[in-house]
Structure formats: C-alpha cells, structure tokens
Amino acid sequence: MESLNPEVFSFKNITKTFASVLANHEVSFSVAEGTIHGVVGENGAGKSTIMKILYGMFEPDSGTIHFQGKPRSIPDPQTAISLGIGMVHQHFMLVPTLTVWENIILGKEPSKWLLDKASILKQLKSLKTKFGFQVDLEAKIESLSVGHQQQVEILKLLYRKANILILDEPTAVLSPQEVESLFEKLKLLKKAHKTIVIITHKLKEILSFTDSVTVMRQGKAIETLPTSSLTEDSLAEKIIGRKRIPLNFEKSGFEPEPVLKVASLSLSEAHNSILRHISFEINRGEIVGIAGIEGNGQHELIEVLAGVEKNYSGTVILNQENIKELSAYDLKQKGFSLIPPDRHLEGVILPFSLAENAILGHHRDPQIKSGPFLSSTKITQLASQLIQSFDIRPGEPSQSIAGLSGGNQQKLVVARETAREVSFLLAAHPTRGIDIGAIDFIHQYFLKLKAQGTAMLLISSELEEILKLSDRILVLYRGEIVAQVLKNEATEKDLGLWMTGGSKK
Amino acid sequence: MIEILSSTLRLATPLIFAAMGGFLCERSGIATICLEGVLLTSAWAGATVTYYTNPYLGVLAAIIVGAMTMALHALLTVKAKADQIISGVAVNLFAAGITPILTKLLFGSSTNTESIPLHARLYSPVLTLLAFLLPFLIHFVTYRTGWGLRLLACGDGPEALKTSGVSPAKVRYWALSIAGAIIGFGGVYLSTAHASQFTRDMTAGRGFIALTALIFGKWRPLPAFIACLFFGFTDALQIQLQSSPLLGNTFPVQALQIFPYLITLLVLVGFIGSAKPPLAIGKVE
Amino acid sequence: MKPHFFKKYFAGPLIAVLISACLTTALLICLGENPSILWEAFTSTFFNGFGLGYTLYYTTPLIFTGLSVALCFHAGLFNIGAEGQLHLGAAGIIALSLFFPGLPWYFSIPLGVIASMLTGGLWGLIAGFLKAKRGSHEVIVTILLNFIGITFVNYLILYPFKNTQVQNPETLEIGQSYFLSPLSDFTAYLGSELFRTTPVNVTLFLSLFAALICYLFLFHTARGYEIRALGQNPSAARFNGISASTNTLLVFTLAGALSGLVGINEVMGFQHKLIEGFSPQYGFTGIAVALMARNHPLGVILAALLFGSIHNGAREIEFLSEKITKEISIVMEAILIIIIAGQGYFSSLVYRLFKRDCHD
C-alpha cells in the first residue's frame, strides 16, 4: 500500500499460544521501510506478543516472518539485533547501578577485555548529538528521570545500529512535553531511514505521529491502513470491534455533607517533598477524580489515605475521625474501602482461594469466626454471596483466584471492598488492564454506589475515565493540587496542560 | 608478634580464595552459602590426589572438583530454578556427607586421609602469594573490562543483560565455575599446605567466614580482601592465646571466635555503614 | 481425600523419595556395597521396637525444627537459624536447672519447657527484629546468629556450666525433677518390651501437639491468615492492615521457640546434660523436613519421621557395612533436597522424555 517505500518486514499467519491461551491468531501484516508504524489495540490484544516474536523473544507456533522479502527465522534477540531490529520494552531494561554509557554498550562492548572509556564516550557523544539526545553519559541510571532513561534505551538501539526500532507503549509514563520531544526525535530517526514501530493504545498519538496503523483485536490483526484514512472515532471503533454503549450517566447531585476532609497534607521522603499542602473535601455521593501523570504523588496519597503511611503532616478526617490514630485495618472497619492501584500487587493474593481472598482486610471480623478460629463455612458463605452478586466466573469459592481472568479478579476486589457499608471508596486505576465488559460493569456499579451516598476518590491515568465519572476533578502535579474544576467546566486540553505544569492562559 | 603475622597470612589464604570465589558468584546474582561445601570437596580432592600422585595434579584435581561442585550449584539454581539458599544448603550437606564416605572407601577411616610427607606437599607461600594477587586481578577484571561489565549487569539487572543479547544463564555458569576453581585453590591449600591431610569437616566454618568477609566488605573485592586479613588475624590471635602458657585454659577463646560474625552482623544491620547485596540475588527467574 | 490434595502434598514428595532411594542404591553399588543393606537398615528403623525407638527419638527434634522452618516459610521468611536457636533453647534449660535444681516436678517441667522456648524464642526474636526493623536479609542474619549462638553455648558448656569432674566438654547434670520419662517406662508398665533402652521420651507427644497447634494456628486463625497473606503478597497484606514488622517479629519468635524445644528432647528427655556438638545439624535437616512437607505442619510429622528414619538407618548401615559410614544419611538428605528443590525442572525433564517416546 505504501508504494513509495519498500516493505522491510512482514508477518505471515503467525499463531502463538501461551499455555492454551491464544495470544496471536494467524497474524499477517507488513511494515514499510522508513515509516512510523503504529500497532494499536486494547490490553491483551496481542500487540506486544507479535512484536516480541519479531524481536526473537518468543517463537511462533506457526507462520513465518519475512525480512526484506525473504522468510527468516528469528530464534533469539541476538539474531534480531544482528538483523538491525531493536526493542524498547514497556518496563525499561536497564541496570540501575551502572552508568549510562555502561548500559549502552552492555552486550556489545568494543572489547571483552579492557574497556577504553575515552574512545567509547567519544563515539557515544557523536551519536547523542546526531539525534538530539541530552543525557549525561556518566550518570547512573538510578538517578535519571523516566524520560532520560527512555533516551538511554533508544541510544542503546542506535549504538547497535538498529534500523527497526520497536517501542512498546513508549508514552505510558511520559508527560505530554516528554511525549512531544520523544516524537521529535523519532521524526529525526525516520529522516535517517529508520523504521519505527510503536505499540500503543493511545489514539491521539497514533493519529498525529504515525504513517500507517495495524489494528489488533483478540489476538488477530484486523486491518492495516494508512493513518490519513482514519479518524479518532473510526479507529476507536475498529479497536473495540463494536460501538461502545454510552454510560448511563445521570448526574445525580450530591449532598453537601463532607465525608472526607483533607487539610494541608504534606509528605516528605528523604528530604524530597512528595506531597505539598494538599487540601480537599469529598461529600456524600460525590465522585472526585484526580488527574495527573503517574509519579506525581498519587501513590503516596493513596498510602496516606489507606492508613499505611503515617509520616505526614496536616490532617485527614474521615467521618469526623482523624485517621492518623487508625491502622489500615481499623480504617477499613470504619467505612473506608480501597481498590488498590495494582490488582496483582495489592488487590488479591494469587495462591489463595476465592474464599480466602474474599475476607482480606476483614479477616479479624468476629462474624466469620467461631470461637478463636476462623469458620470456613461462614467464609465460604460470604464468598458465595459475593460471587453471585457480581457474577464472578468460575465461581467456586475453594478455587485458587489465579485461575480467574483479570476482569473477574477485579470484580472480586470490587465486590469485597463494597460488601459492607462504604462511606468512602478510594478507587485507584480500577479498570486498568481489564476487558471492556468488566470496565462497563464496574463503572455502572460505581454510579450505583454514588447514588447510595458513597463518597469516592477516583485516581486514574485514563483521563477519559476521570472525565466520565467525576463530579469534580483535581489535578495533581509534583505533589500539589494545581487546579480544581467541575466536571462540565473541564476540557481535556486544559487538564493536559495542568497535568504537565502549564497554567491556563 | 612476627609469629602472629605469619600465622595471619597463612590463615587468611584460604579465606581469600573462598571470598573471591564468593564474590564472583554473588555478583552474578546467585546467593552462595555453599562456599563451605566447595572448600570441603576440593580440600578432599586435593589431599587425595596429592597423596597418590604429586602436588601439581593435586592442585589440578582440587580446581576441577571445586568447579564441579560449584557447577552443581549453578545447575540447580540456573537450570532447575531451585531456590538459591536451599540449593546451597543441599550442596553443603552433600559435601559434608560424601567426603567422609569416600575417605573411608579409599583410606579405611572416615575421619582422615593418609598424611602426606612434607617433601611431597605443595610449597605453600606460592599459594599465599597467589591469594594476595587475586583480589587485585578480580577488581581489575570486574570494574575495567567487558567481562566484568557483564558480570555486574548479571547481578544487578539480569533482565537488562538478557535483552542486550547476553544470556545471564551463561554468565552465571561461567562465573560459578570459575569461582569454584578459585575456591579449589583454597581447599587444596587447607588440606596440603596448611595441614598434611584431609580431615573430616576440616573447613570448620571457613566458607562461612569467607562469606562473612564478603558481606563485611560490602560485596567488593578489595574490602573483602581486607576483611579476610582481619578475620585471619583474629583467628591467629585466638590460636596464639589458646596455646599461650600464661593464660592456659582460662581465656575463653569463644570471645574471639564470635568476633568476625558479630562485627559483620553490626555492619549488615547498618550500625556501621550499610551493606547492600546485588539486586538480583535470591531471585528465581 | 480429594485428588488435588494428594497431588499437592503427597505425589511430589513420594516421587522424590523413590528417586532418591534409587540414586542412593546406585551410589552404594558404585561404592562397592551390596545395596540390600539399604532395605535391611530401613526396615530395622521401623519394624523392631529398638530401631523404632531410636527413629522416633530422632524424629522428635526434627518435628520441632521442621515446624520452625515451615512457619517462617509461610510468612515468606527463610529461617536458617534453627541450629542456633535450638542450642540456645537447650542452654536455657541447663541455666534454669542450675539456678533452681530442686524444684518439684510440677514446676520444673513446665518451667523447663518455658525456658527453652524463651531462650530459643529470644534468639529468633533477634533475627526477626533485625529483619523487621533494620531490613537486613534474614538468611545472612540467621547464618551469623547461628555461629554466634553456637559459639556462645559452647562457651557456656566449657566454662560457667562445665562439669569439671569429667574430661568431656559437657555441662553439669540437671536436677532429677527435670527428667522426662522415656516411653519405655510406659510400655514396661503395660508389660511390653517396646522401646526398651531407647531414648524416645514424652517429648515426642509434645512435638506432635506442637504440630497440631501450628496447623490450627496457620490455617484456622486470623493471625495465621495474616502470616500466610504476608508471605504470599506483602503489598496486599500492607494495604489490608497486616503489619509486616509485627508478624515478622512474631513468626521469628515462635520459630525460635519451636527450635528451642529441641532442648527438651535432648536435655530433659535423654542426656540430662548438654554436650558440645549434641545436634547432628537438626536445624539444617529441619529445612529439608519443611521442604518435604510442603510447609504443611501435619506433613512435617511425616517428613520428620522419614528423616528420623534415614538418620537412624544410616547408623545401622555403618554397623552393617564394612565400607559405608553413617554420613550416607547426609548424602541422602542432600539428594532429597536437590530433587524437591528442582522438582519443577526435573518433572519437565521426565515429561519431555515421555513425550519423545510417544513421538518415536
């Protein structure tokens, strides 16, 4: 289709399964040389898998890769590197204790023996200036910002003379400015005839920066087409595979009765101030959203509100009670509920059964005890209720929760956290990485809770989610609340500006 | 005084070999509590082969057996993905069990091998000299060469190393085998230079002292070397006091025996500086 | 019994035992010994009163150390320190008896149990404290504490508590009222010769009771739930009000106390004094026991019985064989640990082997 540029590689009917889960099914598409090519799709659509196959990290079950017109097997990353293919992973693959230059040459050192530091630095410096990178070659990785670490990753590929650069969700952790500067560099690279493949689920970036797009859905490559032929709506529709049912959002008002009062909350860690004078209130039946790029103090705010971080100044009052004296467990018994940011890390305990997971956070409750012992009948009963009311499948209480899909695991978390009277729900990234069905279910459920009078703080990296649910939006930037708007006053553009430290004109 | 110093050198020699071996292992990201076991098997092999042939083949045998014992640890931790501590315990037990059995088989007694006459033994200052050069060599290789870069990356970020196209498993096999060979020198020193025969459990915790020295040196070769000298000195002092006619049996030598462990514990828990192990240690891929 | 329960707790260990039996047989053949003595020794550890008595005597401390290690594993902690803790526990009893030699039995025996648990528990608590409050790695800490503890107890044996009447490095005897009855007393009362002249004593029942308590504690109490949750997912535990430091302190103290109880079997049950080097590495074997039991407290009983019988059988082998020494038990232990620790890999090897057979 891109008649000007020759094809550099293509997939022909690639199929890959992981332990009976179909990750890629008969995937075929091609990428033209010297273009920026987007691979889009929802989480779990198989985007990363197919590119990792190209990079030699996975071997396909069937199908072939054609490289510069010829079929080619790529059994390991080393082969990929020798073909000029490089990949920047979603989680950066750098050694934190080593310096930038050491990380760049790692695995492709000029000599296995004595390293001539001066000549290496000279070579890297010229590479750096050629593509406009600004990063201190002698700094240790652990001291660098995320944006700079990403530069190191890209430099590493260029040092290896990569001609095809695969970037897996490169903008997930970047501020809009950093995104801007990243794509400027990518354009320079494109000019130097490098091919760039970007795996993402962000429509805007695709539309404004790529030349062509492959849409993936449920492990299949649905379509590959030039970006110019797409609009945001048409692309979204292709990704989801159906039109989304708009959320039944009746803006029911809330009662001006504060449930949570945060006053002048500050927190410092190792002389860095992480949270600065944060003050806000949440009323009964109100949903307050916190917009912000990850790493601007969200994590610490969650820790303070959840009662696990106590070294803060200022006050947090929940239902007229100062939470400083309450342990995380007591807090949960007083009407506080938490949907933690990372399901596997904080939400569920994978080797435990559904029933055991259902009592987490309320495991000292006398209601599930008989005498000094936990009563397994009562626990099973409780779990069955949650399973039924949230339609969790498969719903056997004694089964390990590891066997459930992400969406069903998250449903159990939501069910557990809202099984009791909830006066304040802190929902952090409640729909991250789960299927659309479960997302809609959880969103509807939140509105139901709101109608029942639950006050809610929604922390999410998806602006869309925040805009959809919140009555009021606070913007968190570098540990400070830099803006506060009501739902109907907020535009995505303003929020984006505030999130990155800009001020509204 | 001179006596204590020369005794310090002698007692530090096996510690240095073991600690340097331990350095390579731990820096590659593999926890190594099996230094003791590797010392023991190589000490046995060194004494046995020296007894039957000559000291040169004895040294060679100790190196090979040391490397093989460490390769067992590598196989278990890298290939079989066993827990590194558990594997270390197993290797230590295996060494403690198999050496007396083989000793009994060859020499008829499970407690010791036949004594090797002085003229058929290794000239020990050669090994001591080697031990004193080794830390500098290892320091140089680790911090100035490509191999060293890979070793450090393997211990602090094996995932990153892997995506750079270098197999961490391979680095670990190499690191552990070389480490085993180095520890082999320590083993053969114990059984043929320091003593004249292999006796059951003759390592007597030296592997653990070496590990302790490595931790005391905060996982760096030169400080670990100093720690070995220091612990060798406390050991020499203890022996001196034990045999001193003045004090006789009244001085509790346990106070000195405890010393290396106690001071290392203080370092480890951060009362004296702080010590951080390589990041990937103990993690099964 | 549900099939998955069998698969989870029994299939692996049983296969491991079979494989290690085969490997040991092969080893015996290599060493030029008739492998039938393995069977002979093994049966003698179970099927006669004398052999069984010794097997159970060795089983008792292994139940304690196995529970100690298993309890820590549940909290995600590795207790290599059982060896040091059990030394301290044993010394605690001696100290108690030296201070109060003439207590009546209804005081001395419970106090003896408490003393061993307190001193062992204290040694565990130190490790727990350093882990919980200073963030030090518990493996290294417990290794260091082992050496410190054992050397300290050796000092006690050789200096303040020393029995100067004898040459051997051993302490004075404890008071008569501290003695626990050997099981042979009971069987003799019933007119049986079972366990005659063997040191197995009532501490065995204490160890079984401890296993039961541990089981109930871990799987049927809120605190046990917290400990397991902490071990499986520390961040989830944290956000749900499960304190890592409190539970680490508690678990290490309990583990130390359990290891300390080994002293009851040794000092009050049999030797009535403390001898330097009395433990044939019960603490390290406890790691093998816990692994074999998949950390299940009731499984620990069976696993301890297995290792007790291996330990006893090896002494029998040394007696039967001209060539093999009792260290064969340590080798068998090592082989068992290796097989269990690498089970995932070894079973995939076997699986591939069979798969290839099917294709050919």
Residue A84 resides in a domain: yes
Per-residue pLDDT for B282 more than 80? no
For an interface test with B, give the residue of A87, A95, A103 to mutate (most B CBs within 10 A): A95
Chain C residue with Cα closest to B274: C136
Stronger pLDDT, A429 or C87, i.e. the higher one: C87
**A112 closest CB neighbour out of B146, B153, B161:** B146
Residue C347 resides in a domain: no
**A360 closest CB neighbour out of C220, C221, C236:** C236
Q: Residue C209's domain spans which residues? A: 47-338
- Same domain membership, residue A395 and residue A374: yes
Chain B residue with Cα closest to A78: B165
Q: If you average pLDDT over residues A61-75, what whole number do you get? A: 89
Q: Is some CB atom of chain C closer than 8 A to the CB atom of A249?
A: no
- Same domain membership, residue A152 and residue A92: yes
**A328 closest CB neighbour out of C225, C232, C239:** C239
**The pLDDT of residue B259:** 85
Q: Residue A207's domain spans which residues? A: 7-240
Give strand pairing partners of C75: none
DSSP string, A41-71: --TTSSHHHHHHHHTTSS--SEEEEEETTEE
Residue A340 resides in a domain: no
Residue B198 resides in a domain: yes
Residue B283 resides in a domain: no
Q: How close A50 comes to chain B (CA, Å)? A: 17
**The pLDDT of residue B42:** 96
Read off the CATH number of the domain in which B253 is found: 1.10.3470.10
Range in A272-286, B264-278, C141-155, C168-182 with the lowest mean pLDDT: B264-278
Where residue B278 falls among pLDDT bands split at 50, 70, 90? confident
Q: If you average pLDDT over residues A260-276, what whole number do you get? A: 85
Neighboring chain B residues of C158 at a CB cutoff of 8 Å: 252, 254
Please give the distance of CA A221 from its chain centroid, rounded to a whole number.
Answer: 22
**Contact yes or no for A115 and B146 at CB 8 A:** yes
- Same domain membership, residue A218 and residue A182: yes
Neighboring chain B residues of C135 at a CB cutoff of 8 Å: 270
Share of chain C above pLDDT 70, in %: 96
Q: If you average pLDDT over residues B135-163, what whole number do you get? A: 93
Chain B residue with Cα closest to C287: B86
Distance CA A401, CA C227 (A): 19
Domain boundary among the residues A390, A419, A448 is at A419
Domain boundary among the residues A393, A419, A445 is at A419
Q: How close A360 comes to chain C (CA, Å)? A: 7
**Contact yes or no for A345 and C221 at CB 8 A:** no
- Which helix (H) or strand (E) segment holds residue C138: the answer is helix C138-158
Where residue B198 falls among pLDDT bands split at 50, 70, 90? very high
SS (H, E, C) A278-344: EEEEEEECCEEEEECCCCCCHHHHHHHHCCCCCCEEEEEEECCEEHHHCCHHHHHHCCEEEECCCHH
- Same domain membership, residue A381 and residue A363: yes
Where residue A230 falls among pLDDT bands split at 50, 70, 90? confident
- Which helix (H) or strand (E) segment holds residue C30: the answer is helix C12-30
Q: How close A311 comes to chain C (CA, Å)? A: 16
User: Tens digits of per-residue pLDDT, A7-45?
Assistant: 889 999 999 887 666 788 889 898 988 899 999 876 667
Read off the CATH number of the domain in which A76 is found: 3.40.50.300
Residues of C with CB under 8 A from a CB of A: 216, 220-222, 225-226, 228-229, 232-233, 235-243
Q: How close A99 comes to chain B (CA, Å)? A: 11
Residue A185 resides in a domain: yes
- Same domain membership, residue A455 and residue A413: no
**Contact yes or no for B254 and C154 at CB 8 A:** yes
Q: Phi then psi for B263, rounded to 5 degrees? A: -70, -35
**Contact yes or no for B82 and C342 at CB 8 A:** yes
Neighboring chain C residues of B268 at a CB cutoff of 8 Å: 130, 136-137, 140-141, 144
For an interface test with A, give the residue of B147, B152, B164, B279 to mutate (most A CBs within 10 A): B164
- Same domain membership, residue A396 and residue A298: no
Domain boundary among the residues A194, A214, A240 is at A240
The Cα-based distances of B207 to B8, B228, C282 in angstroms read 17, 11, 20
Residue A248 resides in a domain: no
List chains touching B (3+ CB pairs under 8 A). Answer: A, C
Where residue C299 falls among pLDDT bands split at 50, 70, 90? very high
User: Tens digits of per-residue pLDDT, C162-194?
Assistant: 888 888 899 989 988 999 988 888 888 888 888
Residue B285 resides in a domain: no
**Contact yes or no for B277 and C137 at CB 8 A:** yes
- Same domain membership, residue A369 and residue A325: no
**The pLDDT of residue B18:** 96
Residue A2 resides in a domain: no
Residue B280 resides in a domain: no
Residue A51 resides in a domain: yes
Domains held by chain B: number: 1
- Same domain membership, residue A383 and residue A501: no
- Same domain membership, residue A450 and residue A359: no
Would you say A290 and A476 are in contact if contact means Cβ atoms under 8 Å apart?
A: yes
**The pLDDT of residue A271:** 67
User: Tens digits of per-residue pLDDT, A155-166?
Assistant: 999 998 889 999
List chains touching C (3+ CB pairs under 8 A). Answer: A, B
Chain A residue with Cα closest to B168: A107
**The pLDDT of residue B8:** 92
Would you say A392 and A404 are in contact if contact means Cβ atoms under 8 Å apart?
A: yes
Neighboring chain C residues of B76 at a CB cutoff of 8 Å: 338, 341-342
Chain B residue with Cα closest to C150: B258
Share of chain B above pLDDT 90, in %: 57
**Contact yes or no for B149 and A105 at CB 8 A:** yes
Residue C127 resides in a domain: yes
Neighboring chain C residues of B80 at a CB cutoff of 8 Å: 341-342, 344-346
Q: Is some CB atom of chain A closer than 8 A to the CB atom of B164?
A: yes
**Contact yes or no for C221 and A348 at CB 8 A:** no
Gyration radius (Cα) of chain A, Å: 25
Residue C27 resides in a domain: no
Chain B residue with Cα closest to C346: B80
Residue A37 resides in a domain: yes
Residue C82 resides in a domain: yes
- Same domain membership, residue A279 and residue A149: no
Distance CA B156, CA B179 (A): 18
**Contact yes or no for B93 and C334 at CB 8 A:** yes
Per-residue pLDDT for C3 more than 60? no
Stronger pLDDT, C350 or A211, i.e. the higher one: A211
DSSP string, chain B: -HHHHHHHHHHHHHHHHHHHHHHHHHHTT---TTHHHHHHHHHHHHHHHHHHS-HHHHHHHHHHHHHHHHHHHHIIIIIS---HHHHHHHHHHHHHHHHHHHHHHHHS-SSBPPPPPGGGS--HHHHHHHHHHHHHHHHHHHHHBHHHHHHHHHHH-HHHHHHTT--HHHHHHHHHHHHHHHHHHHHHIIIIIISSS-BTTTTTTHHHHHHHHHHHTTT-HHHHHHHHHHHHHHHHHHHHHHH-TTTTT-S-THHHHHHHHHHHHHHHTTSSS-----TTTT---
A272-311 residues touching C, CB cutoff 8 A: 306-308
Where residue A1 falls among pLDDT bands split at 50, 70, 90? very low
Read off the CATH number of the domain in which C165 is found: 1.10.3470
**Contact yes or no for A107 and B279 at CB 8 A:** no
Would you say A15 and A49 are in contact if contact means Cβ atoms under 8 Å apart?
A: no
Distance CA B177, CA B179 (A): 5
Residue B14 resides in a domain: yes
Q: If you average pLDDT over residues B85-106, what whole number do you get? A: 92
Q: Residue B229's domain spans which residues? A: 2-271
What residue type is assigned to position C314 of the chain? A
Per-residue pLDDT for C354 more than 70? no
Q: If you average pLDDT over residues A234-256, what whole number do you get? A: 63
**The pLDDT of residue A222:** 85
Residue C173 resides in a domain: yes
**C241 closest CB neighbour out of A329, A369, A374:** A329
Residue C33 resides in a domain: no
Would you say A195 and A34 are in contact if contact means Cβ atoms under 8 Å apart?
A: yes
Cβ-proximal residues to A138 (8 Å cutoff; 6+ apart), any chain:
A99, A100, A101, A121
Would you say C172 and C161 are in contact if contact means Cβ atoms under 8 Å apart?
A: yes
**The pLDDT of residue B122:** 78
- The interface pTM score, or ipTM, of the predicted complex is 0.87
**Contact yes or no for C145 and B265 at CB 8 A:** yes
**The pLDDT of residue A2:** 43
- Same domain membership, residue A197 and residue A48: yes
Nearest residue to A180 via CA among A168, A189, A188, A171 = A171
Distance CA C6, CA C296 (A): 13
Domains held by chain C: number: 1
Domains held by chain A: number: 3
- Same domain membership, residue A383 and residue A325: no
